Structure 1
Amino acid sequence: MSQPFSYRHLYYFWVVAKEGGMARAAARLDMAVQTVSTQVRELERELGHTLLKQVGRGLVLTEAGIATMRQADQIFQLGEQLPAVIHDAISAPSVRLAVGISDGLPKLAVRRLLQPVMQEPNLRLVCHEDDFEDMLGDLALHRLDVVLADRAAPPNPNLKLYSHSLGSSPIAWYAPAALQAAAQKNFPQSLAELPVLLPTKHAAVRLRLDQWFERHAIRPRVVGEFEDSALLNTFGASGMGVYPVAALMHEELVKKYEVKRVGESEGVEEYFFAIGTEKKVLHPLVQKLLPGHG
Protein backbone atom coordinates (compact mmCIF):
# COMPACT_ATOMS: atom_id res chain seq x y z
CA MET A 1 0.00 0.00 0.00
CA SER A 2 1.49 3.36 -1.05
CA GLN A 3 1.90 6.21 1.41
CA PRO A 4 -0.91 8.83 1.18
CA PHE A 5 1.66 11.61 1.47
CA SER A 6 5.40 12.27 1.49
CA TYR A 7 7.13 12.51 4.86
CA ARG A 8 9.68 14.77 3.19
CA HIS A 9 6.90 17.21 2.27
CA LEU A 10 5.54 16.94 5.82
CA TYR A 11 8.97 17.78 7.22
CA TYR A 12 9.25 20.95 5.14
CA PHE A 13 5.78 22.03 6.29
CA TRP A 14 6.78 21.32 9.91
CA VAL A 15 9.87 23.52 9.61
CA VAL A 16 7.87 26.33 7.99
CA ALA A 17 5.32 26.21 10.82
CA LYS A 18 8.06 26.08 13.46
CA GLU A 19 10.00 28.98 11.93
CA GLY A 20 6.88 31.04 11.24
CA GLY A 21 7.52 31.72 7.57
CA MET A 22 8.92 30.46 4.27
CA ALA A 23 12.04 32.63 4.29
CA ARG A 24 13.17 31.60 7.77
CA ALA A 25 12.40 27.94 6.99
CA ALA A 26 14.39 28.16 3.75
CA ALA A 27 17.35 29.64 5.65
CA ARG A 28 17.21 26.84 8.23
CA LEU A 29 16.97 24.19 5.50
CA ASP A 30 19.57 25.93 3.31
CA MET A 31 17.17 25.80 0.39
CA ALA A 32 15.53 28.29 -1.95
CA VAL A 33 12.25 29.80 -0.76
CA GLN A 34 10.53 28.68 -3.95
CA THR A 35 11.63 25.09 -3.38
CA VAL A 36 10.25 25.04 0.18
CA SER A 37 7.00 26.64 -0.96
CA THR A 38 6.61 24.02 -3.69
CA GLN A 39 7.12 21.19 -1.21
CA VAL A 40 4.44 22.59 1.11
CA ARG A 41 2.00 22.98 -1.77
CA GLU A 42 2.67 19.36 -2.71
CA LEU A 43 1.73 18.26 0.82
CA GLU A 44 -1.49 20.30 0.64
CA ARG A 45 -2.31 18.63 -2.67
CA GLU A 46 -1.62 15.17 -1.21
CA LEU A 47 -3.79 15.83 1.85
CA GLY A 48 -6.48 17.70 -0.04
CA HIS A 49 -6.53 20.68 2.33
CA THR A 50 -4.93 24.10 2.65
CA LEU A 51 -2.56 24.07 5.62
CA LEU A 52 -1.23 27.65 5.59
CA LYS A 53 -2.90 30.92 4.72
CA GLN A 54 -1.58 34.43 4.26
CA VAL A 55 -2.62 36.93 6.92
CA GLY A 56 -1.09 40.33 6.44
CA ARG A 57 2.60 39.79 5.75
CA GLY A 58 2.77 36.46 7.55
CA LEU A 59 1.51 32.88 7.40
CA VAL A 60 -0.86 31.24 9.86
CA LEU A 61 -2.07 27.67 10.21
CA THR A 62 -5.56 26.74 9.06
CA GLU A 63 -7.64 24.25 11.07
CA ALA A 64 -6.25 21.48 8.86
CA GLY A 65 -2.78 22.92 9.39
CA ILE A 66 -3.16 22.84 13.17
CA ALA A 67 -4.20 19.18 13.07
CA THR A 68 -1.33 18.34 10.71
CA MET A 69 1.15 20.22 12.88
CA ARG A 70 0.02 18.32 15.96
CA GLN A 71 0.80 15.00 14.26
CA ALA A 72 4.02 16.28 12.70
CA ASP A 73 5.25 17.40 16.11
CA GLN A 74 4.89 13.88 17.46
CA ILE A 75 6.51 12.29 14.41
CA PHE A 76 9.56 14.52 14.17
CA GLN A 77 10.12 14.95 17.90
CA LEU A 78 10.32 11.17 18.14
CA GLY A 79 12.69 11.18 15.18
CA GLU A 80 14.95 13.73 16.88
CA GLN A 81 15.12 11.48 19.94
CA LEU A 82 16.17 8.43 17.90
CA PRO A 83 19.98 8.92 18.09
CA ALA A 84 19.83 9.29 21.88
CA VAL A 85 17.55 6.27 22.21
CA ILE A 86 19.92 4.12 20.14
CA HIS A 87 22.94 5.41 22.06
CA ASP A 88 21.31 4.57 25.39
CA ALA A 89 20.28 1.14 24.17
CA ILE A 90 23.82 0.26 23.09
CA SER A 91 25.83 1.91 25.86
CA ALA A 92 23.63 0.91 28.79
CA PRO A 93 21.42 -2.12 28.13
CA SER A 94 18.33 -1.85 30.29
CA VAL A 95 14.96 -3.41 30.88
CA ARG A 96 12.43 -0.65 30.21
CA LEU A 97 9.05 -0.50 31.90
CA ALA A 98 6.74 2.36 30.91
CA VAL A 99 4.05 2.75 33.56
CA GLY A 100 1.00 4.95 33.36
CA ILE A 101 -0.27 6.08 36.76
CA SER A 102 -3.90 7.14 36.93
CA ASP A 103 -4.23 10.46 38.75
CA GLY A 104 -6.80 8.89 41.09
CA LEU A 105 -4.28 6.39 42.47
CA PRO A 106 -2.75 7.31 45.86
CA LYS A 107 0.91 8.23 45.37
CA LEU A 108 2.05 6.30 48.42
CA ALA A 109 0.53 3.15 46.92
CA VAL A 110 2.50 3.40 43.68
CA ARG A 111 5.88 2.63 45.25
CA ARG A 112 4.42 -0.38 47.06
CA LEU A 113 2.67 -1.69 43.93
CA LEU A 114 5.90 -1.41 41.94
CA GLN A 115 8.02 -3.03 44.66
CA PRO A 116 8.16 -6.46 42.90
CA VAL A 117 10.18 -4.98 40.02
CA MET A 118 12.32 -2.44 41.87
CA GLN A 119 15.25 -4.83 42.33
CA GLU A 120 15.35 -5.80 38.65
CA PRO A 121 18.94 -5.42 37.33
CA ASN A 122 19.28 -2.60 34.77
CA LEU A 123 15.70 -1.49 35.31
CA ARG A 124 14.72 1.68 33.48
CA LEU A 125 11.42 2.77 34.96
CA VAL A 126 9.47 5.46 33.10
CA CYS A 127 6.39 6.76 34.92
CA HIS A 128 3.71 8.98 33.43
CA GLU A 129 0.77 10.42 35.38
CA ASP A 130 -2.42 11.60 33.70
CA ASP A 131 -6.19 11.35 33.60
CA PHE A 132 -7.45 7.75 33.70
CA GLU A 133 -9.05 7.84 30.24
CA ASP A 134 -5.97 9.43 28.67
CA MET A 135 -3.77 6.76 30.23
CA LEU A 136 -5.94 4.03 28.71
CA GLY A 137 -5.65 5.70 25.32
CA ASP A 138 -1.84 5.74 25.56
CA LEU A 139 -1.88 2.11 26.64
CA ALA A 140 -4.00 1.11 23.65
CA LEU A 141 -1.50 2.88 21.38
CA HIS A 142 1.33 0.91 23.06
CA ARG A 143 2.99 4.01 24.44
CA LEU A 144 2.77 2.35 27.86
CA ASP A 145 3.40 -1.19 29.04
CA VAL A 146 0.88 -1.07 31.88
CA VAL A 147 -1.43 1.34 33.68
CA LEU A 148 -1.81 1.30 37.46
CA ALA A 149 -5.22 2.55 38.55
CA ASP A 150 -7.80 2.58 41.34
CA ARG A 151 -10.44 1.00 39.08
CA ALA A 152 -10.75 -1.55 36.32
CA ALA A 153 -10.85 -0.47 32.68
CA PRO A 154 -14.47 0.05 31.53
CA PRO A 155 -15.77 -2.20 28.73
CA ASN A 156 -14.93 -0.69 25.36
CA PRO A 157 -15.12 -2.68 22.12
CA ASN A 158 -12.62 -0.28 20.52
CA LEU A 159 -9.97 -0.81 23.21
CA LYS A 160 -8.80 -4.35 23.91
CA LEU A 161 -7.77 -3.83 27.52
CA TYR A 162 -7.58 -6.31 30.38
CA SER A 163 -7.68 -5.48 34.10
CA HIS A 164 -5.68 -7.53 36.58
CA SER A 165 -6.43 -7.12 40.29
CA LEU A 166 -3.49 -6.16 42.50
CA GLY A 167 -5.54 -6.39 45.69
CA SER A 168 -7.30 -3.90 47.93
CA SER A 169 -6.95 -2.09 51.22
CA PRO A 170 -9.43 -0.89 53.87
CA ILE A 171 -9.82 2.87 54.14
CA ALA A 172 -8.74 4.38 57.45
CA TRP A 173 -8.95 7.92 58.77
CA TYR A 174 -5.90 9.88 59.88
CA ALA A 175 -5.44 13.14 61.71
CA PRO A 176 -2.61 15.38 62.89
CA ALA A 177 -1.83 15.00 66.58
CA ALA A 178 -3.81 18.16 67.46
CA LEU A 179 -7.04 16.64 66.10
CA GLN A 180 -6.56 13.00 67.03
CA ALA A 181 -8.31 12.99 70.43
CA ALA A 182 -11.34 14.93 69.20
CA ALA A 183 -11.59 12.76 66.10
CA GLN A 184 -11.44 9.49 68.02
CA LYS A 185 -14.12 10.60 70.45
CA ASN A 186 -17.45 9.32 69.15
CA PHE A 187 -15.90 8.33 65.78
CA PRO A 188 -17.22 8.37 63.06
CA GLN A 189 -19.90 10.91 64.13
CA SER A 190 -17.02 13.22 65.06
CA LEU A 191 -16.49 13.79 61.33
CA ALA A 192 -19.64 15.93 61.29
CA GLU A 193 -18.02 18.34 63.77
CA LEU A 194 -14.36 18.38 62.75
CA PRO A 195 -12.85 19.73 59.50
CA VAL A 196 -12.66 16.94 56.91
CA LEU A 197 -10.52 16.60 53.78
CA LEU A 198 -11.56 14.30 50.93
CA PRO A 199 -10.33 13.18 47.51
CA THR A 200 -12.32 14.70 44.65
CA LYS A 201 -14.83 12.61 42.73
CA HIS A 202 -12.19 11.66 40.15
CA ALA A 203 -10.98 9.08 42.69
CA ALA A 204 -13.01 5.85 42.60
CA VAL A 205 -13.03 5.61 46.39
CA ARG A 206 -14.86 8.94 46.78
CA LEU A 207 -18.24 7.45 45.82
CA ARG A 208 -17.77 4.64 48.34
CA LEU A 209 -16.91 7.17 51.04
CA ASP A 210 -20.00 9.25 50.23
CA GLN A 211 -22.14 6.12 50.50
CA TRP A 212 -20.49 5.28 53.84
CA PHE A 213 -21.36 8.74 55.16
CA GLU A 214 -24.98 8.21 54.10
CA ARG A 215 -25.18 4.84 55.85
CA HIS A 216 -24.01 6.44 59.07
CA ALA A 217 -26.20 9.53 58.61
CA ILE A 218 -23.11 11.76 58.74
CA ARG A 219 -22.86 15.12 57.00
CA PRO A 220 -19.09 15.69 57.05
CA ARG A 221 -17.75 19.20 57.47
CA VAL A 222 -15.69 19.19 54.28
CA VAL A 223 -13.15 22.01 54.16
CA GLY A 224 -11.01 20.73 51.29
CA GLU A 225 -11.05 18.37 48.31
CA PHE A 226 -7.92 17.30 46.47
CA GLU A 227 -7.26 15.54 43.16
CA ASP A 228 -3.66 14.88 44.14
CA SER A 229 -3.33 12.42 47.02
CA ALA A 230 0.07 13.85 47.97
CA LEU A 231 -1.58 17.25 48.52
CA LEU A 232 -4.32 15.58 50.54
CA ASN A 233 -1.67 14.11 52.85
CA THR A 234 0.30 17.35 53.01
CA PHE A 235 -2.65 19.56 53.96
CA GLY A 236 -4.01 16.94 56.36
CA ALA A 237 -0.67 16.59 58.12
CA SER A 238 -0.37 20.38 58.38
CA GLY A 239 -3.50 20.44 60.57
CA MET A 240 -6.19 21.38 58.06
CA GLY A 241 -8.38 18.38 58.82
CA VAL A 242 -9.04 14.66 59.24
CA TYR A 243 -8.71 12.64 56.04
CA PRO A 244 -9.08 9.10 54.62
CA VAL A 245 -6.23 6.99 53.21
CA ALA A 246 -5.81 3.34 52.28
CA ALA A 247 -4.60 1.59 55.45
CA LEU A 248 -2.06 -0.26 53.32
CA MET A 249 0.12 2.85 53.58
CA HIS A 250 -0.10 3.14 57.38
CA GLU A 251 3.63 2.84 58.08
CA GLU A 252 4.61 5.34 55.38
CA LEU A 253 1.92 7.78 56.55
CA VAL A 254 2.96 7.71 60.17
CA LYS A 255 6.67 7.94 59.36
CA LYS A 256 6.53 10.59 56.62
CA TYR A 257 3.62 12.76 57.74
CA GLU A 258 3.58 12.09 61.51
CA VAL A 259 -0.20 11.65 61.58
CA LYS A 260 -2.25 9.38 63.84
CA ARG A 261 -4.78 6.74 62.89
CA VAL A 262 -8.29 7.64 64.07
CA GLY A 263 -10.51 4.79 62.86
CA GLU A 264 -11.68 2.81 59.86
CA SER A 265 -14.43 3.27 57.29
CA GLU A 266 -15.82 -0.21 57.77
CA GLY A 267 -16.80 -1.77 54.44
CA VAL A 268 -14.95 0.81 52.32
CA GLU A 269 -12.03 -0.50 50.26
CA GLU A 270 -9.47 1.06 47.93
CA TYR A 271 -8.87 -1.23 44.93
CA PHE A 272 -5.72 -1.48 42.84
CA PHE A 273 -5.46 -2.69 39.24
CA ALA A 274 -2.81 -3.27 36.61
CA ILE A 275 -4.33 -2.72 33.17
CA GLY A 276 -2.70 -4.13 30.06
CA THR A 277 -3.39 -4.82 26.41
CA GLU A 278 -3.00 -8.61 26.61
CA LYS A 279 -5.23 -11.09 28.41
CA LYS A 280 -2.12 -13.17 29.00
CA VAL A 281 0.54 -10.73 30.17
CA LEU A 282 3.67 -10.94 28.01
CA HIS A 283 5.96 -8.24 29.43
CA PRO A 284 8.11 -10.02 32.06
CA LEU A 285 8.16 -7.06 34.44
CA VAL A 286 4.39 -6.59 34.25
CA GLN A 287 4.07 -10.28 35.08
CA LYS A 288 6.09 -9.66 38.24
CA LEU A 289 3.60 -7.01 39.37
CA LEU A 290 0.71 -9.47 39.39
CA PRO A 291 -0.04 -11.57 42.49
CA GLY A 292 1.16 -15.14 42.03
CA HIS A 293 3.52 -14.24 39.19
CA GLY A 294 6.42 -12.76 41.07
Structure 2
Amino acid sequence: MKNNGMNFRHLYYFWVVAKEGGVTRAAERLGVAVQTISTQLSLLEQSIGKALFSQQGRRLVLTESGRTALAYADQIFLLGEQMQEALGEADGAKIRLTVGISDSLPKLTAFRLLEATMRLERQVRLVCYEDQFEALLGDLALHKLDVVLTDRAVRSGTTLRVFSHQLLESETVVVGAQTLAAVYQGGFPRSLNGAPFLLPTRNNTLRGQIDEWFEQNGVRPDIVGEFEDNALLNTFGRRGLGLFFTTAALASDILEQFGAVLVGPVPHMRQQFYAISNERKIRHPAVDAILSAVHHGVLSAV
Protein backbone atom coordinates (compact mmCIF):
# COMPACT_ATOMS: atom_id res chain seq x y z
CA MET A 1 0.00 0.00 0.00
CA LYS A 2 1.33 3.40 -0.93
CA ASN A 3 2.05 5.61 2.08
CA ASN A 4 0.39 9.01 1.59
CA GLY A 5 1.92 10.51 4.73
CA MET A 6 2.06 9.67 8.40
CA ASN A 7 -0.72 10.96 10.65
CA PHE A 8 1.15 11.85 13.83
CA ARG A 9 -2.01 11.89 15.95
CA HIS A 10 -2.49 8.22 15.06
CA LEU A 11 1.16 7.56 15.87
CA TYR A 12 0.83 9.38 19.19
CA TYR A 13 -2.18 7.23 20.18
CA PHE A 14 -0.17 4.10 19.27
CA TRP A 15 2.74 5.36 21.41
CA VAL A 16 0.52 5.95 24.43
CA VAL A 17 -1.10 2.51 24.08
CA ALA A 18 2.35 0.88 23.94
CA LYS A 19 3.54 2.85 26.98
CA GLU A 20 0.38 2.26 29.02
CA GLY A 21 0.15 -1.42 28.10
CA GLY A 22 -3.41 -1.37 26.78
CA VAL A 23 -6.17 0.56 25.04
CA THR A 24 -8.27 1.12 28.16
CA ARG A 25 -5.46 2.69 30.18
CA ALA A 26 -4.41 4.79 27.16
CA ALA A 27 -7.98 6.05 26.78
CA GLU A 28 -8.06 7.02 30.47
CA ARG A 29 -4.76 8.87 30.15
CA LEU A 30 -5.84 10.74 27.04
CA GLY A 31 -9.42 11.35 28.19
CA VAL A 32 -11.00 9.84 25.09
CA ALA A 33 -13.24 6.87 24.37
CA VAL A 34 -11.76 3.39 23.97
CA GLN A 35 -13.39 3.17 20.53
CA THR A 36 -11.55 6.34 19.48
CA ILE A 37 -8.20 4.77 20.38
CA SER A 38 -9.06 1.54 18.57
CA THR A 39 -10.10 3.44 15.45
CA GLN A 40 -6.90 5.51 15.43
CA LEU A 41 -4.76 2.36 15.77
CA SER A 42 -6.62 0.68 12.95
CA LEU A 43 -6.13 3.69 10.68
CA LEU A 44 -2.40 3.78 11.50
CA GLU A 45 -1.97 0.08 10.71
CA GLN A 46 -3.84 0.55 7.43
CA SER A 47 -1.66 3.51 6.44
CA ILE A 48 1.62 1.64 7.00
CA GLY A 49 0.38 -1.79 5.94
CA LYS A 50 1.65 -3.53 9.08
CA ALA A 51 0.07 -4.95 12.22
CA LEU A 52 1.55 -3.21 15.26
CA PHE A 53 -0.11 -5.30 17.98
CA SER A 54 -1.19 -8.90 18.33
CA GLN A 55 -3.77 -10.18 20.79
CA GLN A 56 -2.51 -12.68 23.38
CA GLY A 57 -5.36 -13.57 25.66
CA ARG A 58 -6.63 -10.27 27.05
CA ARG A 59 -3.32 -8.49 26.41
CA LEU A 60 -2.05 -6.50 23.46
CA VAL A 61 1.53 -7.41 22.57
CA LEU A 62 3.75 -5.51 20.18
CA THR A 63 4.63 -7.26 16.96
CA GLU A 64 8.12 -6.98 15.49
CA SER A 65 6.86 -4.08 13.36
CA GLY A 66 5.31 -2.57 16.49
CA ARG A 67 8.63 -2.70 18.35
CA THR A 68 10.35 -0.98 15.44
CA ALA A 69 7.64 1.69 15.27
CA LEU A 70 7.83 2.22 19.03
CA ALA A 71 11.59 2.84 18.88
CA TYR A 72 11.05 5.60 16.32
CA ALA A 73 8.03 6.98 18.16
CA ASP A 74 10.12 7.24 21.33
CA GLN A 75 12.62 9.40 19.46
CA ILE A 76 9.95 11.51 17.78
CA PHE A 77 7.97 12.35 20.89
CA LEU A 78 11.01 12.72 23.15
CA LEU A 79 12.43 15.25 20.70
CA GLY A 80 9.03 16.91 20.56
CA GLU A 81 8.98 17.31 24.34
CA GLN A 82 12.54 18.63 24.31
CA MET A 83 11.61 21.09 21.55
CA GLN A 84 8.70 22.44 23.59
CA GLU A 85 10.93 22.83 26.65
CA ALA A 86 13.67 24.51 24.61
CA LEU A 87 11.18 26.92 23.02
CA GLY A 88 9.73 27.66 26.42
CA GLU A 89 13.20 28.48 27.74
CA ALA A 90 14.42 30.30 24.63
CA ASP A 91 13.37 33.70 25.89
CA GLY A 92 13.86 32.85 29.56
CA ALA A 93 16.79 33.08 31.89
CA LYS A 94 17.83 29.40 31.81
CA ILE A 95 20.03 27.39 29.46
CA ARG A 96 19.22 23.68 29.18
CA LEU A 97 22.16 21.24 29.21
CA THR A 98 21.37 17.57 28.68
CA VAL A 99 24.34 15.47 29.78
CA GLY A 100 25.09 11.78 29.43
CA ILE A 101 27.39 10.47 32.16
CA SER A 102 29.21 7.21 31.50
CA ASP A 103 28.55 4.69 34.28
CA SER A 104 32.31 4.17 34.66
CA LEU A 105 33.02 7.87 35.29
CA PRO A 106 33.66 8.66 38.99
CA LYS A 107 30.70 10.65 40.34
CA LEU A 108 33.03 13.16 41.98
CA THR A 109 34.63 13.83 38.60
CA ALA A 110 31.23 14.37 37.01
CA PHE A 111 30.23 16.73 39.81
CA ARG A 112 33.41 18.79 39.58
CA LEU A 113 33.01 19.17 35.83
CA LEU A 114 29.32 20.08 35.97
CA GLU A 115 29.81 22.40 38.91
CA ALA A 116 31.42 24.85 36.50
CA THR A 117 28.08 25.34 34.71
CA MET A 118 26.55 26.70 37.90
CA ARG A 119 28.82 29.74 37.78
CA LEU A 120 27.55 31.12 34.50
CA GLU A 121 25.72 34.43 34.56
CA ARG A 122 22.79 32.76 32.83
CA GLN A 123 21.30 29.98 34.96
CA VAL A 124 21.71 26.43 33.65
CA ARG A 125 19.12 23.71 33.94
CA LEU A 126 20.97 20.39 34.09
CA VAL A 127 19.34 17.18 32.88
CA CYS A 128 21.66 14.23 33.60
CA TYR A 129 21.39 10.64 32.41
CA GLU A 130 23.69 7.78 33.37
CA ASP A 131 24.16 4.79 31.08
CA GLN A 132 26.76 2.62 29.41
CA PHE A 133 29.19 4.35 27.08
CA GLU A 134 27.87 2.88 23.83
CA ALA A 135 24.22 3.66 24.66
CA LEU A 136 25.11 7.27 25.45
CA LEU A 137 26.95 7.67 22.14
CA GLY A 138 23.84 6.48 20.32
CA ASP A 139 21.70 9.03 22.15
CA LEU A 140 24.26 11.74 21.42
CA ALA A 141 24.23 10.90 17.71
CA LEU A 142 20.41 11.20 17.77
CA HIS A 143 20.78 14.62 19.45
CA LYS A 144 19.04 13.47 22.61
CA LEU A 145 22.11 14.67 24.53
CA ASP A 146 24.24 17.81 24.27
CA VAL A 147 27.41 16.17 25.57
CA VAL A 148 28.70 12.92 27.06
CA LEU A 149 31.19 12.95 29.95
CA THR A 150 33.26 9.79 30.07
CA ASP A 151 36.64 8.22 30.81
CA ARG A 152 37.40 7.04 27.28
CA ALA A 153 37.67 8.48 23.79
CA VAL A 154 35.53 7.38 20.86
CA ARG A 155 37.40 4.69 18.97
CA SER A 156 38.68 5.53 15.52
CA GLY A 157 36.69 4.21 12.60
CA THR A 158 33.29 4.64 14.20
CA THR A 159 30.44 5.50 11.84
CA LEU A 160 28.97 7.93 14.37
CA ARG A 161 29.73 11.61 13.73
CA VAL A 162 30.81 12.37 17.28
CA PHE A 163 34.08 13.89 18.50
CA SER A 164 36.25 13.41 21.59
CA HIS A 165 37.60 16.39 23.52
CA GLN A 166 40.15 15.40 26.17
CA LEU A 167 39.52 17.34 29.36
CA LEU A 168 42.49 16.21 31.39
CA GLU A 169 44.85 13.38 32.20
CA SER A 170 45.80 12.46 35.76
CA GLU A 171 47.88 9.85 37.52
CA THR A 172 46.22 7.31 39.80
CA VAL A 173 46.64 6.86 43.56
CA VAL A 174 45.75 4.17 46.07
CA VAL A 175 43.72 5.49 49.01
CA GLY A 176 41.88 4.08 52.00
CA ALA A 177 40.23 4.92 55.29
CA GLN A 178 42.81 6.36 57.69
CA THR A 179 43.07 3.36 60.04
CA LEU A 180 43.35 0.92 57.12
CA ALA A 181 45.75 3.10 55.13
CA ALA A 182 48.12 3.35 58.10
CA VAL A 183 48.66 -0.42 57.97
CA TYR A 184 49.80 -0.45 54.32
CA GLN A 185 51.56 2.89 53.73
CA GLY A 186 55.05 1.68 54.71
CA GLY A 187 56.98 -0.14 52.00
CA PHE A 188 54.45 0.74 49.27
CA PRO A 189 53.70 -1.00 46.92
CA ARG A 190 55.14 -4.28 48.27
CA SER A 191 53.12 -3.72 51.43
CA LEU A 192 49.92 -4.23 49.45
CA ASN A 193 50.43 -7.98 49.17
CA GLY A 194 47.36 -9.50 50.81
CA ALA A 195 45.75 -6.10 51.39
CA PRO A 196 41.94 -5.89 51.06
CA PHE A 197 40.93 -4.08 47.85
CA LEU A 198 37.72 -2.73 46.37
CA LEU A 199 38.03 -2.78 42.56
CA PRO A 200 35.96 -1.74 39.54
CA THR A 201 34.46 -4.60 37.53
CA ARG A 202 36.34 -5.87 34.50
CA ASN A 203 34.25 -3.87 31.99
CA ASN A 204 35.78 -0.69 33.43
CA THR A 205 38.68 0.72 31.39
CA LEU A 206 40.81 1.17 34.53
CA ARG A 207 40.54 -2.45 35.67
CA GLY A 208 42.93 -3.84 33.07
CA GLN A 209 45.60 -1.33 34.11
CA ILE A 210 45.08 -2.22 37.78
CA ASP A 211 45.48 -5.94 37.17
CA GLU A 212 48.63 -5.34 35.10
CA TRP A 213 50.09 -3.08 37.81
CA PHE A 214 49.46 -5.73 40.49
CA GLU A 215 51.22 -8.33 38.36
CA GLN A 216 54.21 -6.07 37.57
CA ASN A 217 54.74 -5.34 41.26
CA GLY A 218 54.19 -8.89 42.45
CA VAL A 219 51.14 -7.88 44.49
CA ARG A 220 48.45 -10.44 45.25
CA PRO A 221 45.58 -8.42 46.70
CA ASP A 222 42.65 -9.77 48.69
CA ILE A 223 39.79 -8.60 46.45
CA VAL A 224 36.87 -8.15 48.83
CA GLY A 225 34.53 -6.48 46.36
CA GLU A 226 34.09 -5.55 42.69
CA PHE A 227 31.74 -2.72 41.74
CA GLU A 228 30.26 -1.40 38.52
CA ASP A 229 29.02 1.69 40.35
CA ASN A 230 31.98 3.84 41.39
CA ALA A 231 29.94 5.74 43.98
CA LEU A 232 29.04 2.48 45.73
CA LEU A 233 32.70 1.42 45.67
CA ASN A 234 33.66 4.71 47.36
CA THR A 235 30.97 4.21 50.00
CA PHE A 236 32.40 0.81 50.91
CA GLY A 237 35.85 2.43 50.99
CA ARG A 238 34.60 5.07 53.40
CA ARG A 239 33.57 2.27 55.78
CA GLY A 240 37.15 0.99 55.76
CA LEU A 241 36.32 -2.29 54.03
CA GLY A 242 39.17 -2.03 51.55
CA LEU A 243 41.72 0.14 49.78
CA PHE A 244 40.76 1.54 46.38
CA PHE A 245 42.13 3.40 43.36
CA THR A 246 41.16 6.93 42.41
CA THR A 247 42.45 9.77 40.26
CA ALA A 248 45.01 12.01 41.92
CA ALA A 249 43.04 15.02 40.70
CA LEU A 250 40.31 14.13 43.21
CA ALA A 251 42.53 13.27 46.18
CA SER A 252 41.41 16.26 48.28
CA ASP A 253 37.74 15.50 47.59
CA ILE A 254 38.22 11.86 48.51
CA LEU A 255 39.69 12.92 51.87
CA GLU A 256 36.90 15.40 52.54
CA GLN A 257 33.95 13.22 51.48
CA PHE A 258 35.14 9.71 52.27
CA GLY A 259 37.81 10.19 54.93
CA ALA A 260 40.26 8.34 52.69
CA VAL A 261 43.95 9.23 52.72
CA LEU A 262 46.84 8.52 50.37
CA VAL A 263 48.47 5.11 50.65
CA GLY A 264 50.75 5.56 47.65
CA PRO A 265 50.97 6.97 44.09
CA VAL A 266 50.72 4.94 40.88
CA PRO A 267 52.23 7.51 38.50
CA HIS A 268 52.38 5.29 35.41
CA MET A 269 48.65 4.46 35.60
CA ARG A 270 47.03 7.41 33.84
CA GLN A 271 43.33 8.22 33.69
CA GLN A 272 41.82 10.35 30.94
CA PHE A 273 38.51 12.18 30.98
CA TYR A 274 36.64 13.34 27.89
CA ALA A 275 33.70 15.38 26.71
CA ILE A 276 32.10 13.82 23.61
CA SER A 277 30.09 16.12 21.36
CA ASN A 278 28.39 16.12 17.96
CA GLU A 279 30.67 18.88 16.75
CA ARG A 280 34.41 19.33 16.42
CA LYS A 281 34.08 22.77 17.99
CA ILE A 282 32.06 23.10 21.19
CA ARG A 283 29.30 25.70 20.77
CA HIS A 284 27.05 25.12 23.79
CA PRO A 285 27.88 27.84 26.36
CA ALA A 286 27.53 25.47 29.32
CA VAL A 287 29.85 22.88 27.76
CA ASP A 288 32.28 25.65 26.92
CA ALA A 289 32.19 26.61 30.62
CA ILE A 290 33.26 23.06 31.53
CA LEU A 291 36.21 23.20 29.12
CA SER A 292 37.21 26.63 30.43
CA ALA A 293 37.04 25.45 34.06
CA VAL A 294 39.26 22.46 33.29
CA HIS A 295 41.72 24.77 31.53
CA HIS A 296 41.86 26.89 34.68
CA GLY A 297 42.46 23.90 36.94
CA VAL A 298 39.08 22.87 38.40
CA LEU A 299 40.56 19.37 38.26
CA SER A 300 44.30 19.66 38.59
CA ALA A 301 45.98 17.37 36.08
CA VAL A 302 49.06 15.63 37.47
Identity of aligned residues (%): 44
Q: Distance in 1 between matches of 2:182 and 2:59?
A: 68
CA contact (8 A) 1:149 1:273 kept: yes
1:106 paired with 2:98, answer no
In structure 2, what residue type is equivalent to 1:99? V
Question: Which of these residues, 16, 20, 23, is aligned with residue 21 of structure 1?
Answer: 23
In structure 1, the gaps of 5 or more residues are none
In structure 2, the gaps of 5 or more residues are 297-302
Q: CA deviation at 1:15?
A: 4.6
Matching of residues 1-294 of structure 1 within 5 Å? 4-17=5-18, 18=20, 20-21=22-23, 25=27, 30=32, 33=35, 36-56=37-57, 59-76=60-77, 79=80, 86-90=87-91, 92-121=92-121, 122-290=123-291
The TM-score with structure 1 as length reference comes to: 0.86
CA contact (8 A) 1:161 1:275 kept: yes
Q: Cα gap change, 1:244/1:5 in structure 2, threshold over 3 Å: closer, same or farther?
A: same
Of stretches 38-47 and 133-142 in structure 1, the one that deviates more from structure 2 is: 38-47
Of stretches 7-16 and 279-288 in structure 1, the one that deviates more from structure 2 is: 7-16
Q: Distance in 1 between matches of 2:99 and 2:174?
A: 29
Q: CA deviation at 1:238?
A: 0.2
What is the aligned length? 291
Q: Cα gap change, 1:79/1:178 in structure 2, threshold over 3 Å: closer, same or farther?
A: same
Q: CA deviation at 1:11?
A: 2.8
Q: Distance in 2 between matches of 1:30 and 1:260?
A: 62
Q: CA deviation at 1:269?
A: 1.2
In structure 2, what residue type is equivalent to 1:271? Q
CA contact (8 A) 2:23 2:38 kept: no
Q: Distance in 2 between matches of 1:249 and 1:237?
A: 15
Q: CA deviation at 1:82?
A: 6.6
Of stretches 16-25 and 121-130 in structure 1, the one that deviates more from structure 2 is: 16-25
Partner deviation per Cα, 1:47-95 (whole Å, 9 max, x = no partner): 22212233445544323223333443554466567766655555x4212
Partner deviation per Cα, 1:165-217 (whole Å, 9 max, x = no partner): 11111111111122122211222122221111111223222211112112112
Aligned CA-pair RMSD: 2.9
Q: Distance in 2 between matches of 1:195 and 1:32?
A: 61
Q: Distance in 1 between matches of 2:143 and 2:61?
A: 33
Q: Cα gap change, 1:247/1:52 in structure 2, threshold over 3 Å: closer, same or farther?
A: same
CA contact (8 A) 2:124 2:286 kept: no
Q: Distance in 1 between matches of 2:82 and 2:289?
A: 29
Of stretches 255-264 and 201-210 in structure 1, the one that deviates more from structure 2 is: 201-210
CA contact (8 A) 2:120 2:289 kept: no
SS where residue 269 of structure 2 aligns? strand
CA contact (8 A) 1:183 1:242 kept: no
Q: Distance in 2 between matches of 1:84 and 1:116?
A: 23
